[in-house]
Each structure stands twice: as structure tokens, then as C-alpha cells.
């Protein structure tokens, strides 16, 4: 009888071990894939800490880019006037042309927002702070307090150590951005 109970216990433990197999999160898979893209094959990967900082919707991202172009337009206009006053017509013309392009970009963003009004509440990425360690072909890699912007589908859009650089280039999540701006994300 003891052998039957012991065999049942061993079978239950084996079944439990199989059913409790660790499955990495979407974010863990995405961060590991990004490291592999940059550094080559990764072994012994461990995500030691991760914290979601915020979710960014399509409407918020359009607003971020719009604010950046408004600020740029203001600065370009002011510099154009300043150069004009200093009798520097070439510099004034360049800044006035830049200010004109900023207005075109603002109009384009407004058009995109209007066309996608039903999707403005859709989350396009989430910002995370994380720490991880792994082994690559280059040796041990430790990422302490890094930042990543990850789509809900698990694509890392940006992964940086300095948080102020996290959103550089993320205008590309706006549908039509690449076609209108050539993938150029100055802001």
C-alpha cells in the first residue's frame, strides 16, 4: 500500500512540475529578443526587475509629436525674425522655410488624428523600467535600470539606458507617419 501511495505521490509531483513550467512574459521575451538582435545569441537570460511606468495611446503620441512641432515652429519663427532683423536674409529664409514645414506637419498630424478618431484611445506602447542579466557571445551583460517602450504585441520600439532618449523615433507608431515624414522623426 505504501508503494502505491508513494507512486501516486511521485506521479502527482511530476504532473505538477510539468504543469507549473515557467512561461516568460511578453515583455521578457521582447527584451531578450531585442538584446539578441543587438548582441547575438543570449543564454542564461534573467529579467530581475520590471515595472510598467505608463501606457501611451495613439492620441497621446499624436499630442506629443504635435507639441514638439508647435515648439519647433515657435523657435523657427522667432529665429527667422531675429535673422531678418540682423539683416541675415539667407538664415532668415531658412528658418522661415523650416517654420512653414512645421505648420505642414502640424496640419498632417491634425488630419491623421481626425481620420483615426475612433482609434485614438488605443494603446500603442507601454514604457517600462527594467533590470536584466544574460550571457552573450561577448560575455556577461548586465542592464541595470534601463528603459524600454514595448508595443502590446511585444515589439521593443526603443530600449535605452537614459530615460530622456526613450521616445526618440517613436512617431513611427502613428499610422501614415513614415509616408508623410519619410520615417524621419526629428521630434
Residue 51 lies in a domain: no
CA distances from 123 to 3, 39, 180 (A): 56, 29, 22
Residue 19 lies in a domain: no
Residue 78 lies in a domain: yes
Q: How far apart are CA 146 and CA 160, in angstroms?
A: 6
Residue 6 lies in a domain: no
Question: Which range, of 7-11, 168-172, 177-181, averages the lowest pLDDT?
Answer: 7-11
Judge whether 134 and 141 are in contact, CB under 8 Å.
Answer: yes
Q: Is pLDDT at 7 greater than 50 in this prediction?
A: no
Q: What is the pLDDT of residue 111?
A: 94
CA distances from 35 to 28, 58, 140 (A): 11, 26, 12
Residue 72 lies in a domain: yes
Q: How far apart are CA 66 and CA 152, in angstroms?
A: 23
The three three-digit cell numbers of residue 119, written as one number: 482609434
Residue 37 lies in a domain: no
Q: Is pLDDT at 184 greater than 90 in this prediction?
A: no
Judge whether 116 and 141 are in contact, CB under 8 Å.
Answer: no
Quick one: average pLDDT of 64-76?
A: 95
Which pLDDT tens digit goes with each residue over 75-89? Answer: 999 999 999 999 999
Judge whether 10 and 102 are in contact, CB under 8 Å.
Answer: no
Q: Residue 99 sits in which domain range?
A: 59-118
Number of folded domains that form the chain: 1
Residue 12 lies in a domain: no
Amino acid at each position: 500500500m505504501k508503494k502505491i501511495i508513494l507512486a501516486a505521490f511521485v506521479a502527482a509531483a511530476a504532473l505538477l512540475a510539468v504543469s507549473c513550467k515557467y512561461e516568460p512574459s511578453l515583455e521578457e521575451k521582447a527584451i531578450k529578443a531585442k538584446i539578441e538582435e543587438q548582441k547575438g545569441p543570449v543564454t542564461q537570460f534573467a529579467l530581475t526587475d520590471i515595472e510598467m511606468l505608463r501606457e501611451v495611446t495613439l492620441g497621446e503620441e499624436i499630442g506629443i509629436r504635435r507639441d514638439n512641432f508647435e515648439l519647433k515652429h515657435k523657435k523657427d519663427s522667432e529665429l527667422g525674425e531675429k535673422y531678418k532683423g540682423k539683416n541675415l536674409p539667407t538664415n532668415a529664409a531658412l528658418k522661415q522655410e523650416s517654420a512653414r514645414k512645421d505648420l505642414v506637419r502640424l496640419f498632417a498630424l491634425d488630419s491623421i488624428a481626425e481620420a483615426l478618431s475612433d482609434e485614438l484611445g488605443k494603446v500603442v506602447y507601454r514604457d517600462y523600467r527594467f533590470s536584466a542579466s544574460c550571457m552573450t557571445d561577448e560575455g556577461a551583460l548586465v542592464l541595470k535600470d534601463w528603459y524600454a517602450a514595448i508595443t502590446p504585441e511585444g515589439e521593443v520600439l526603443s530600449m535605452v539606458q537614459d530615460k530622456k532618449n526613450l521616445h526618440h523615433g517613436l512617431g513611427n507608431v502613428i499610422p501614415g507617419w513614415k509616408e508623410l515624414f519619410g520615417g524621419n522623426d526629428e521630434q
